[in-house]
Amino acid sequence: MQIFQQQEEGKRFVTMKNTHLQLEAIADNSSKTAVVQMQQKPAIARQSVPANLIAKALGLKTDDLRIDNLLPTTVETEVAHTMVPIKSLQLLNNCIPDNERLIEISKQYAFEGFYCFAFAEPDEEHLVEARFFNPLIGIDEDAATGTAAGPLIGFLAKNNYVELNKKYKILQGVKLNQPSLIETMVRTDDILVGGISIITMQGALYL
């Protein structure tokens, strides 16, 4: 937080894998809060990953991992994660990840996490609900994952599920009792990912 405050106004950034990602802060006068958004690169679809392998690792059936023509696909903005479409919210929240199998798939197909998602009901404020598993780097499940939300909204844009320059929200962390709303937008040259957050702890590392 201190480093962020020390950065020059209008030129704030975070570092991810040795790359500076520009940040935009937008004031919300109604709630008197600020939405901080990270600028990610346009999404690139790398490869498809066999649905039967992922389904087995999640305790689901192969046919459960399909929405229309969407199939498990590795997508990258800053980090490569596999987008895993799940037919229903019930299946999404009932899946039980087998970490050893997930790690094997990650290594075999050269990506990190699994961003499992299902479309929300039409009357919800969010477009999709998601769960993120990345046991390859020690994350059993994460409550909010910006590096996966960007690839997901880019993936949905490429498949004509979302429009350019329009805000969409992703709900994540429900299963962990830590619900998080991630705001996203696909633009011509980048993807915005962000939201409102609070500081829960601060600390320093001494090397």
Q: In this predicted model, which residue has the larger pLDDT, 84 or 30?
A: 84
- Identify whether the C-beta of residue 183 lies closer than 8 Å to the C-beta of residue 146: no
Three-state DSSP at 137 gives helix
- Identify whether the C-beta of residue 129 lies closer than 8 Å to the C-beta of residue 120: yes
pLDDT digits (tens, 9 = 90+) for 35-76: 778 889 999 999 999 999 999 999 999 999 999 999 999 999
Give domain status of residue 33, yes or no.
no
CATH number at residue 110: 3.10.310.10
Give domain status of residue 79, yes or no.
yes
Give domain status of residue 106, yes or no.
yes
DSSP code, position 67:
B
Main-chain dihedrals φ then ψ at residue 92, nearest 5 degrees: -60, -45
CB atoms under 10 Å from CB of 179, counted, come to 14
The count of structural domains within the chain is 1
Give domain status of residue 45, yes or no.
yes
Give domain status of residue 95, yes or no.
yes
Give domain status of residue 194, yes or no.
no
**Strands 80-85, 114-119: parallel, antiparallel or unpaired by DSSP?**
parallel
pLDDT digits (tens, 9 = 90+) for 122-149: 999 999 999 999 999 999 999 999 999 9
Give domain status of residue 28, yes or no.
no
Rounded to whole angstroms, what are the CA distances from 130 to 156, 169, 180? 13, 11, 10
How confident is residue 1, by pLDDT bands cut at 50, 70 and 90?
A: very low
For the chain, the straight-line distance linking the first and the last C-alpha, in angstroms and rounded, comes to 19
Locate 18 and state its tokens: 């040795």
56: containing domain: 41-183
Q: Is the pLDDT of residue 17 over 80?
A: no
Give domain status of residue 65, yes or no.
yes
Q: For the ranges 7-21, 116-130, 155-169, which has the lowest average pLDDT?
A: 7-21
